[in-house]
Amino acid sequence: MAEQELLDRAADYAFAELERVGGDPLKLDIPLQTIVVLYHFQGMVDNGAFRYPLESDFPFSPPYSMFVDAYRRIGATKAADNLERVIAMFPFENPHLYQEKRNAFMDSLDESDEFFQLGDEVCGDKSIWTAMEEYARENSVAFQLWLQ
């Protein structure tokens, strides 16, 4: 099975399970949660760095630490560190809960600000997808890949 095919099959299974639990990623087993949140989040990052996923709310408003932890679980340390630094730049607690305040803060920054540079370093990083594929392979039992 090709690596990308493996990741897509793992993601299909994980997203089906997400639907089964009512759409809340925090209700998924950690391997499934990891693929669901990163597949979605990194796809957005690849289209607009960190600003793109941070300008909207995620269903159930999970804490951003969930994304940081998911990056760490797959070994994408730089992405995790960069996102953690960006989250810490918001001048208020629990930024995942305040879309308008997040957007006002991001709008106040110059495009050359470190906030955006950190996201640019993660945007288009193909090694993150490779790490997700390896994580799915290592956790293939959780995704029932032997049945597919």
What are 137-147's pLDDT values in tens digits? 999 999 997 65
Assigned token pair, 142 = 């959780």
Q: What is the CATH number of the domain that holds 90?
A: 1.20.1420
User: What is the DSSP secondary structure assignment for residue 63, as one 8-state letter?
Assistant: -
Task: Determine the angle formed by the axes of helices 77-89 and 65-74, rounding to 10 degrees.
Answer: 170
Could you list the beta-strand ranges (E) of 49-131. none
For 113-118, which contacts have Cβ atoms below 8 Å and span 24 or more sequence positions? 114/85, 114/89, 115/50, 115/86, 115/89, 116/49, 116/50, 116/51, 118/50, 118/82, 118/83, 118/85, 118/86
| This prediction's pTM | 0.93
Tally the domains of the chain: 1
pLDDT at 13 over 90: yes
Could you tell me the residue range of the domain that residue 67 belongs to? 3-147
Say if residues 107 and 95 touch (Cβ distance below 8 Å): no
Q: Which helix (H) or strand (E) holds 52?
A: helix 51-54
% of residues, the chain, pLDDT over 90? 93
pLDDT for res 145 = 78
